[in-house]
Structure 1
Amino acid sequence: MNIGELSRLTGLPVKTIRYYSDVGLVPEAERSHAGYRRYDHGSIMRLEFVRTLRELGLDLATIRRVLERRADLGEVAAAHAAALGTQIRVLRLRRAALRAVAERDATPADLERLARIAQASAAERQRIIDEFFDSIFSGIADSSESREFTAGLRSVSADLPDEPTDEQVDAWIELAEMLRAPDFRERLREMGRRSFAPDARRIVPTDPAGLQWFIGLVADAQDRGTPSPEAAVDEVMARWAAAAGRTDDAALRREVADAIELSIEPRAERYWQLMAVINGWPPIPATMHRWAWFLDALRATLPA
């Protein structure tokens, strides 16, 4: 067949086929007496192969080495697949930054910052988190309890996988932006100052097991539908006071109410929910609405 027929069969422009022939990728089978290029069935197969490799992003020099058997196709494919994987990851991160910008009234500086955040390395992500905790706990009373508490927080890193999902990248960007908020930092600093002051009395438990137990009492009372919120408070406080070796009186209830009011910070809970997404943990359910419900009910039981 002539070059025009080959073009119609493959859908490639005559100019492209001629170029591939000139550089030796798809040489013609023969020349006619008039000097025109002639191609055969093998030319079609070779041209289709070259087109496939080009569509996959291989350069002409690499394709030539493959065709001339100077490079193993499997090895070339593996190397190119790895390179494409890196490109896909970068594009996914860039897309996440652009989505974040599209959702807010952003400036060019915001776009640059979000792009850097999205493409941060593991070490850079950890530095962002470490700086956040440094700003919160600097100057907080030093004690074995405070050191143990902060060490537990710092031990959790934002470990994005090599090929993160869109949800994981979005979660990392949201987390990094949240950690920048001055009011969030100051809120946590106040919580830390009051929780770890030398004369602090931690009425509400701060350890995960204790918090889970306490919020479990609240959730059970709330979901079961006790006769009234006040009745739920009586039930929860009676069980909590007994476990703590305290008397359920107005003074204790004021202490608990003050402690809960200090602890209600939706962004602190959101921090762990985002960490769960980033690290591939099971979802962490929201509990702030339960704390708020219990606090309102508890305040209602206190004398004016």
Structure 2
Amino acid sequence: MVSEGLWSIGELARWAGVGVKTVRYYSDRGLLPEAGRSSGGHRRYGAGALDRLRLIRSLRALDLPVPAVERALERDEALEEVVSGQLREVGSQLTALRWREASLRLLQDCPAGERTERLRLLGAVSVPPDTAALARFWRRILPVRLPARVVSTVLDSVVPRLPEEPSPGQVLDFARLHALVSDPRVERPESRPAPPLPAGEYRPAVLYEGLAEAYALASAELAAGRALREGGAGGALDCFVAAYAHARGTVDSPGFRRGLLPLLARSDGPVITRYWKLATGLFAPGEPVLGALHHHLSVALHAQVEGRAD
């Protein structure tokens, strides 16, 4: 230790347990202010430099890049922002590792004859995956006149939030779902689902807003253990039919309900049916699955209409 309570660069490095080059690097970056210079022009550091250097080392040990360390040392609020950002990045990395692990287990446990096909499916999906292709698929098949807020609501309901810790089965379902919505054949007119009501004969925004309310009621009724036909006046099934009736500018009636059945049967088609078969297992436990709710309501309507016919 030198006089005046100041340390040389070598002494500071020794006390901190780092190399002289490290101290010099941080000094040159302005992260480690000098207390002065010796008569020979050598750097001198005060006692506070050791605490500062230890803080820098702690931040770097957390894998923060040097620019982030610089921001973190400016003020306490900046440190909080940097730590929050690093936590998000680590979370993303962990999710990617879990998807990779589940993908490897999927390949490890599958029959040898299926491995090549599964590799092809997995190779088309990023890790961690995103749902952009699913959202594009729905944007293509939704009516063009839907307001942006309605489109956003629909997408929130039909595009699953992918699990952070997927099972191998969920990885396979998503890979197959991604392949389905990315298949150029679904763009062909014969492959696209029929509109929920005859084209040009209904107001799409009215229909989709009404269906959102019906699905919410159906989810609550099913969670309560009630059959959808037993919901009573104003229940999910009535709301479901009313959505179609209001969209057509007409009223609910036994005749309207009978005429709605073939429309519901045609509206989904094989692509949408396949979509929901693959997507259902990707939704969180207890989360309403719109495809399943729509199916339950359609089945309940069919049972009700057929029951009346009897």
Q: TM-score range by the shorter chain?
A: 0.3 to 0.5
* Structure number, greater radius of gyration: 1
